[in-house]
Structure 1
Amino acid sequence: MPLFDAPFDLPDAELRYLPAWLDGATADRWLARLLAETPWERPQVRLYGRLHPVPRQVAWYGDAAYRYSGLTHPPQPWTPLLAEIRAALEALVGRPLNGVLLNHYRDGRDSMGWHSDDEAELGRDPLIVSLSLGGTRRFDLRRVGQTRIERSLLLEHGSVLVMAGATQHHWQHQVAKTRKPCAPRLNLTFRQVHPQP
């Protein structure tokens, strides 16, 4: 994998951050198209016996279904734009990517809770290639089993964050709610899914 700018080192993790992977004009164009063209969904998850809507809008594209948070997401076919983005990111990391989860954070009330991307279909050492478009949001990391935030990173418009190796075994991450004004943000997390029998 190419070496990117690394704002911090974490033990038992392989993280790389490229803050300006995309030029501003391309990032703006991709953001506008994806916001307009994506058939967004807001699925419900069951917590403590009650159904709650996911606190953001989502869409799954890929070559196979993807299961997380107790939900199975059938894949939508690749659009020309998503196929173009996928090819560029595959060239960047030197590995195949066959699915992408799009998360739309409409404002600071939309969020992603603490989790690790450690589903069985992502393989032993999952590769997550995350492209951020739109408003800057804070990305927090903590040790699995701990409550204290160890590191935070501001994910900027046009940036790429790569999580690989043993990262998902030892670390959790979140995008927390915030009361600070923030522009809408899209996060495209590309991955390699290995369908389970």
Structure 2
Amino acid sequence: MNTYFDNRLVIYQNYFDLKYCQQTFDKLLKEIKWLQKSHNNEGKIVDLPRLTANYGEKSYNYSGLVFNPEPWTDFLLELKTVAENLASVQFNALVLQYYRDGNDRVNWHSDDDSCVGTNPVIVSMSFGESRDFWVRHKTHHDDRHKFTLHSGDIVIMQGDMQHVYVHKVPIEKDKTEARLNLTFRKVVT
């Protein structure tokens, strides 16, 4: 376990073994109801540069998009239990992202929507291709850090992390394989 930014960011490297990671990747890729969502980007309707899905009891809406969550599957409940045990939080929402290759991405953002309350705890699990994960201070842009997340890594963002920092998964043209990312959160409103 590695901690950064005064324990705001915790990374468990290789939390899951490679065999479990491959089985999980294959199962999620096959069983999740992946969506290609579009949004308004400065007056132009464009597809999100990744596929997405929401599961759980509560909807987590973002980028002006509204999601009706699918019910938990037995397997997602198993992963939720892992996340809850690590973070000591009960989660009711899950956002899954399917980065099909290195062209798929998510730009600078923070998960500070009012629906997750003040100082939300978010647990992120990675399966599949390794991808860079950048973190930058919101006001001191030279305070920027790059982490490479591998299959089986778990990241916990907590405290005032979402209010002080933004994060992104950038384009990486040399990445040809897919990555699945699961982010568990507690929606309070």
Runs of 4+ in 1 over 3 A off after TM superposition: 145-149
Partner of 1:5: 2
- 1:145 is displaced (CA, Å) by 3.7
- 1:182 is displaced (CA, Å) by 3.6
Q: How many residues align?
A: 189
Contact 1:136 1:182 in 2 (8 A): no
Q: Deviations over 1:14-44 (max 9, x none)?
A: 1100011111111111110000111111111
CA distance in 2, matches of 1:65, 1:103: 15
The Cα RMSD (Å) is 1.3
1:24-173 counterparts in 2 under 5 A? Answer: 24-148=18-142, 150-173=144-167
Identity of aligned residues (%): 33
CA distance in 2, matches of 1:182, 1:142: 26
**What runs of 5+ residues in structure 1 fail to find an aligned partner?**
none
Contact 2:134 2:144 in 1 (8 A): yes
SS in 2 for 1:82: helix
TM-score by length of 2: 0.95
TM-score by length of 1: 0.92
1:166-181 counterparts in 2 under 5 A? Answer: 166-181=160-175
The residue type equivalent to 1:126 in the other structure is: P
The answer to whether the aligner puts 1:15 opposite 2:9 as a matched pair is yes
The residue type equivalent to 2:171 in the other structure is: K
- 1:76 is displaced (CA, Å) by 0.4
